[in-house]
Structure 1
Amino acid sequence: MSRPLDIVVLGLSLSSSWGNGHATTFRALLRGLRAEGHKVLFLERDVPWYAAQRDLPDPDFCELSYYHGVDEFIALFRRRLISADAVIIGSYVPEGAAIIDAVAALRPRLLCFYDIDTPVTLAKLGRKDEEYVAGRQMSLFDIYFSFSGGEVIDRLEADYGVVQGKALYCSVDAERYGNTGEVPEWDLGYLGTYSADRQPALEKLLIEPARRLPTMRFVVAGPRYPAEIEWPANVARIEHLPPADHPSFYSRQRFTLNVTRADMSAAGWSPSVRLFEAAACRTPIISDFWRGLDEVFPKDKTIIIARDAAEVVEALTRLPAEKRRRMADAAYQIVCNGHTGRARAKQLVSALINCRQEADQSAQGISA
């Protein structure tokens, strides 16, 4: 497979970034694949929620097609699924378990899973919740690409029968993310859809510091926050921020906050796309702690780890501007060197090629 690859991806959404983190992850990866010369068809369930909120209805870096149900999906794309070099099914695809069974029955050249929610997936399987992948299906995939790395990969293989687990972190499109040079408008900001398990950390690391620092300015961008949340007067709210506006948003913050979902924090080794986006914009990052974070962004050299409101207040009021700039520059270099969409695309393609070669060699050995 040294020629350009033909890849089919089934994901939650590419066309709409509203209320999900999948779209930006797929966009960076697929743009990287296009830059590397590969061909991608992205298949998305046509659901009303995303249909009404599409901010990328016609991407220029891949084909994008829609379907309404499993039977229609197979009828429309059967030949392409069979002929593709690889079929990659993502997490949270509607009727995902049925989709996986239908695609596996076609015996594609390579069948892979891209879990952008690995710790959530494992927690769901532990509760016998098989919303988008079943436990019996974990061994069907030639490669199980995981949003989480480290010990999570060992667990996938040892406890769930995954044949080959590979960490494939999210990434950032370096050509679309960078500092805009705008004057800082907020001292600390946060970008993320409301999540009940993230809210306590947001309360501790942004809302409480805002109460303690009434002369400073804060901002929270993202949908679905309950109306009953009592925001301090110095916390601005933005309901939705499309990806095209992310660089400006980050560039207008003195610091940005990263908060991790409970399942991902417990699992560790699960860097959010917001970390890479903020670093690409040279915005200093304050983050909650999880195992593996300092393997991506070394503590105190590239990122500030805060465990309570007092540590956030300390950073906002006492960190010298020069040190803040040095940390942001160091994080920027880390992202540019290994966490762009193109870098991630190279990792994906290398894994696919190696897997196919190993399968071919194994088949030759059996036939001999």
Structure 2
Amino acid sequence: MHIAFFGSSLVSAYWNGAATYYRGLLRALAGRGHAVTFYEPDAFDRQAHRDIPDPPWARVVVWQPGQPEALDRCLSEARRADLVVKASGVGVLDAELERRALELRRPGNAVIFWDVDAPATLERVASDPADPFRALVPRYDAVFTYGGGAPVVRAYRSLGARACIPIYNALDPETHHPAPADPRLAADLAFLGNRLPDREARVRAFFLRAAQRLPGRRFVLGGAGWGDLALPANVRWLGHVPTGDHNALNCSCTAVLNVNRDSMARFGFSPPTRVFEAAGAGACVVTDAWEGLELFLEPGREVLVARDGEEVAEHLAALQPARARRLGAAALRRVLAEHTYAQRARQVEVALDEGGAAREIA
């Protein structure tokens, strides 16, 4: 199968939280014999902040948003694909791509909308009855999402989606794995995530509040956009952390914090890539509470769960290195057994029937 995939970026994780998901899933699909072409815009300075070269398992086509003929060429070429994917959050010309991708349907192929931020998309559409995407949903052969579970499936079906299939985030053990600790990154708790409007309040509540409660402990904050935020004295901001340094960061701290964005926490069933990255490195993960967590990691045995910053601080104050190692090892075993991108790629194949349409799977 030839897959034409229109997304934000495959080669740059700069202001691009979907990069790990795209890389893991598309590498796994390529490993199963599928040919992948990834079309990404030259936007948001991502090409200047590439963190991987063009991979051998996918052909990358970079198009210029200011040159209409460049996108025309990409769409014309993609028409020959067996599966055309328009991902959410390309960042430029999204509305045009959502409409024009559907024009690429021909006998024998399928056109899929792949939502990498379904809670945000659904809340946007719900708040605006005139949103043009609303009328397009029933025309796609299926909607795939990387999170959301039953609440997202119900919401998309109510918009007329033919099928909605969650293909969750996962682990690529070739890229995220245990690594030697780096003393320069050592801390008691690390949080990695870009500063976004629907994330900041929860980062303050879960991460910065915990740092204030434990002034004698060391905290590191990674991600873009936090530079002008007043931080407690025991919090060190690292700036943008390239993906190549994620393993070292995850393995250099006693624990790694996951904080879901507001919309993902409300919908639940949305494990972000950070959870699997940290678990894949054998790190002890502390996460905010959200519905569906137990489908991925077992609270108390494979992950620690906190309802607020006070509980994060309590976990950290009581956490001995030996227990942190046991939790991390248990999480690593679980994700390797049940949550790899190789397994997700097989789910994609199951969801696509011989006629090119899609059906929902449990």
TM (norm. structure 2) is 0.91
Change over 3 Å in CA distance of 1:232–1:163 after alignment to 2: same
Structure 1 residue 181, shift from structure 2 partner: 3.0
Alpha-carbon separation, structure 1, partners of 2:180 and 2:102: 49
Structure 1 residues without counterparts, runs of 5 or longer: 360-368
Name which of 24, 46, 51 aligns with 1:50.
46
Q: Does structure 1 conserve the Cα–Cα contact (< 8 Å) formed by 2:104 and 2:111?
A: no
Alpha-carbon separation, structure 2, partners of 1:259 and 1:147: 17
1:90 and 2:87 matched: yes
Structure 1 residue 81, shift from structure 2 partner: 2.1
Corresponding residue for residue 263 of structure 2: 263
The aligned length equals 353
1:151 and 2:147 matched: no
Structure 2 residues without counterparts, runs of 5 or longer: none
Change over 3 Å in CA distance of 1:293–1:321 after alignment to 2: same
Structure 1 residue 222, shift from structure 2 partner: 0.3
Superimposed CA distance per residue, residues 262-289 of structure 1 (whole angstroms, 9 cap, x where no aligned partner)? 1111111111000000000011111111
Alpha-carbon separation, structure 1, partners of 2:338 and 2:236: 33
Amino acid at match of 1:89: K
Q: Does structure 2 conserve the Cα–Cα contact (< 8 Å) formed by 1:20 and 1:193?
A: no
1:324 and 2:324 matched: yes
Alpha-carbon separation, structure 2, partners of 1:32 and 1:96: 26
Change over 3 Å in CA distance of 1:357–1:112 after alignment to 2: closer
Amino acid at match of 1:160: L
Name which of 2, 11, 14 aligns with 2:10.
14
Q: Does structure 2 conserve the Cα–Cα contact (< 8 Å) formed by 1:11 and 1:91?
A: yes
Superimposed CA distance per residue, residues 316-347 of structure 1 (whole angstroms, 9 cap, x where no aligned partner)? 12134333222212211221122222222221
1:91-106 paired onto structure 2 within 5 Å: 91-93=88-90, 94-106=92-104
Query: What secondary structure does 1:199 align onto?
Result: helix
1:60-139 paired onto structure 2 within 5 Å: 60-69=56-65, 71-73=68-70, 75-93=72-90, 94-108=92-106, 109-128=109-128, 134-139=133-138
Superimposed CA distance per residue, residues 294-335 of structure 1 (whole angstroms, 9 cap, x where no aligned partner)? 221121111111112322222112134333222212211221
Alpha-carbon separation, structure 2, partners of 1:153 and 1:61: 31
Corresponding residue for residue 222 of structure 2: 221
Structure 1 residue 235, shift from structure 2 partner: 0.8
Structure 1 residue 157, shift from structure 2 partner: 4.1
Structure 1 residue 217, shift from structure 2 partner: 0.8
Change over 3 Å in CA distance of 1:266–1:78 after alignment to 2: closer
Superimposed CA distance per residue, residues 213-255 of structure 1 (whole angstroms, 9 cap, x where no aligned partner)? 222110000001251x221111111111111111011000110
Alpha-carbon separation, structure 2, partners of 1:295 and 1:244: 28
TM (norm. structure 1) is 0.90
Query: What secondary structure does 2:36 align onto?
Result: strand
Alpha-carbon separation, structure 1, partners of 2:289 and 2:130: 29
Name which of 5, 9, 28 aligns with 1:32.
28
1:347 and 2:343 matched: no
1:280-359 paired onto structure 2 within 5 Å: 280-353=280-353, 356=356
Q: Does structure 1 conserve the Cα–Cα contact (< 8 Å) formed by 2:86 and 2:101?
A: no
Query: What secondary structure does 2:157 align onto?
Result: helix
Superimposed CA distance per residue, residues 77-104 of structure 1 (whole angstroms, 9 cap, x where no aligned partner)? 3453222110111001222221122221
Change over 3 Å in CA distance of 1:260–1:174 after alignment to 2: same
Structure 1 residue 53, shift from structure 2 partner: 1.8
Query: What secondary structure does 1:254 align onto?
Result: strand
Q: Does structure 2 conserve the Cα–Cα contact (< 8 Å) formed by 1:112 and 1:145?
A: yes
Structure 1 range deviating more: 209-218 or 17-26: 209-218
Corresponding residue for residue 244 of structure 2: 244
- Quick one: percent identity of the two aligned structures? 31
Structure 1 residue 37, shift from structure 2 partner: 1.9
Q: Does structure 1 conserve the Cα–Cα contact (< 8 Å) formed by 2:110 and 2:357?
A: no
1:23 and 2:19 matched: yes
CA RMSD of aligned residues (A): 2.2
1:171-210 paired onto structure 2 within 5 Å: 171-182=170-181, 185-210=186-211
Amino acid at match of 2:198: D
Alpha-carbon separation, structure 2, partners of 1:355 and 1:97: 27
Amino acid at match of 2:36: V
Alpha-carbon separation, structure 2, partners of 1:33 and 1:294: 27
Alpha-carbon separation, structure 2, partners of 1:280 and 1:158: 33
Q: Does structure 2 conserve the Cα–Cα contact (< 8 Å) formed by 1:156 and 1:165?
A: no
Alpha-carbon separation, structure 1, partners of 2:320 and 2:358: 53
